[in-house]
Structure 1
Amino acid sequence: MDTTNNRVNGFNPEDITATINALKENPALASFEWRAHNKWINGGHNRSTIQGFYGGGKEDTSREKPFIVDNAEPPILLGNNEGPNPVEFILHGLAGCMTTTMVLHAAAHRIPIDSVETKLTGDWDAQGFLGLDPTVRNGYKQIHIDFKIEGDLTDEQKEQLISFAKKSPVYDIVTHGVPVEVGMQEPEAVV
């Protein structure tokens, strides 16, 4: 539990309130555009570069260096393990977002948490992806999430923490789907 300098779970509740009030006064500040650039390396290996984004009414320049993230496939899926595979990154993103959302909302409600651990498993059938069975979905059939939350918490607070976790943007993306527009960018002309 972090309550140093009026902090709860690593957040200052007054900062959370100030941010919420600023967004209420100017809802345009709440609009964000996240970006990633991906380049294929070889086989199932590709690399994403993530750095700039738009948020809070301006282009963000806080990241001096880009995050470089490799993803690939294990040998059973014809890869060489250069990184986790993309469906594993979905689990990582979901766990990270739900945890951060939970502890942020808990801090706003002044509910201190000692620790949070999450176990996620995703059930996936390669037959859909490979086109072997049209009745099998390409993506996860189901994702299981189990939280282990420690702290001096009542049963009611634990239920409240789970409801906070379900406010996660990635949880919303995974459970409700997002329209995805796919297009083609023309290669740059060589002069």
Structure 2
Amino acid sequence: MNAQVNIKTRNGLDLIQMGQTIEALKNDPGLAQFEFRASNEWVDGGENRSTIRGFYGAGAEDESRDKDFVFTNGEPPVLLGNNEGANPVEFLLHALAGCVTTTTVLHAAARGITIRKLSTRLSGNINLEGLLALNDEAVVGYESIRILMDIEADCSDEELDDLLSFARDHSPVCNTVCRPVPVTLERV
């Protein structure tokens, strides 16, 4: 018997549901439009809290979450904080790592590649002169980000390199970081 016939999941993803989702999106591209939301409230100093719960997607307001996700943003003492939580640029690395990982796992499953091990380490370089307006030449934000991925999968090195290149190009967070995205800041 062909082992592929009995496979219902790969890399922890339901292959039948994946196929149904892709077919639904092909039949109705409007279902692909999502709006994710977060709210944030300042606490004190560099501490603030973001709350995430609802979003719009697949043609409807999502009601699958029965609780808020709350994230405390803080700063280390050297940046005038008290280590209340990771700082926002560290959360950006977390978001990037999570999105590149998930995108890799998803597209590996779609390509029939089983991942046995996957971990990443990220580092980013920032010059605070940009944030503090001390140097007009300094970049505001990350000057560069490096992702080191340790991955073992049941495919050739060439297939793995192709998968990682594809994942980098199709990760929403990676693409948001890698291209200009209009952001507006308005008073309510």
Q: Same fold (TM over 0.5)?
A: yes
Aligned-pair CA distance for 1:178: 0.9
1:65 match: secondary structure: coil
The structure with the greater share of residues assigned to strand is 2
* Structure having greater relative contact order (Cα 8 Å, sep ≥ 6): 1
Aligned to 2:132: 130
- 2:67 paired with 1:46: no
Match among 169, 172, 178 for residue 169 of structure 1 = 172
1:12 — aligned with what?
A: 14
Structure 1, unmatched stretches of 5+, are 186-191
Kindly provide the amino acid, as one letter, of the partner of residue 135 in structure 2.
D
Structure 2 CA distance for aligned equivalents of residues 13 and 115 of structure 1 = 19
Which deviations, in whole Å up to 9, do the C-alpha atoms of 1:36-69 show, x marking residues without a partner? 0000000000000100000000000100000000
Would you say the 8 A contact 1:73–1:83 is kept in 2? yes
Alpha-carbon contact 1:102-1:162 (below 8 Å) kept: yes
The one-letter code sitting in structure 1 at the alignment partner of 2:48 is N
Report the alpha carbon displacement of residue 181 of structure 1 after superposing the two structures with TM: 1.2
Superposed, 1:33-182 pairs within 5 Å as 33-166=35-168, 167-182=170-185
Deviation at 1:177, TM superposition (A): 2.4
Q: TM-score, structure 1 length as denominator?
A: 0.92
Question: d(CA) in 2 for partners of 1:179 and 1:28?
Answer: 22
Provide structure 2 residue ranges, at least 5 long, that are not aligned to the other structure.
none
CA distance in 1, matches of 2:163, 2:149: 10
Q: Give yes or no for contact 1:38–1:46 (8 Å, CA) kept in 2.
A: yes
Q: What is the CA–CA distance in structure 2 between the aligned matches of 1:184 and 1:91, rounded to whole Å? A: 28
Q: Which amino acid in 2 is paired with 1:28?
A: G
Partner of 1:114, secondary structure, is strand
- Contact 2:48/2:73 (<8 A) preserved: yes
The more displaced of 85-94 and 9-18 is: 9-18
1:156 partner letter: E
Secondary structure at the residue paired with 1:14? Answer: helix
Deviation at 1:150, TM superposition (A): 1.4
What is the one-letter code of the residue matched to 2:40? N
* Pairs aligned (count): 183
Residue 188 of structure 1 is matched in structure 2 by: none
**Residues 82-120 of structure 1 deviation map (CA, whole Å, 9 limit, x = unaligned):** 000000011000000000000001101110000111011
> Which stretches of structure 1, 4 residues or more, deviate above 2 A after TM superposition?
none
In structure 1, give the amino acid aligned to 2:110. Answer: A
Q: CA RMSD in A?
A: 1.3
Q: Bigger CA drift: 12-21 or 88-97?
A: 12-21
Q: Scaled by the length of structure 2, what TM-score is found?
A: 0.94
Distance across 2 between alignment mates of 1:10 and 1:171: 22
Q: Which residue of 2 aligns with 1:189?
A: none
Give deviations 1:140-178, integer Å, cap 9, x for gaps: 000011110013331112112212321100010000121
Tell me, in whole angstroms, the C-alpha distance in 2 between the residues paired with 1:130 and 1:119. 28
CA contact (8 A) 1:12 1:107 kept: no
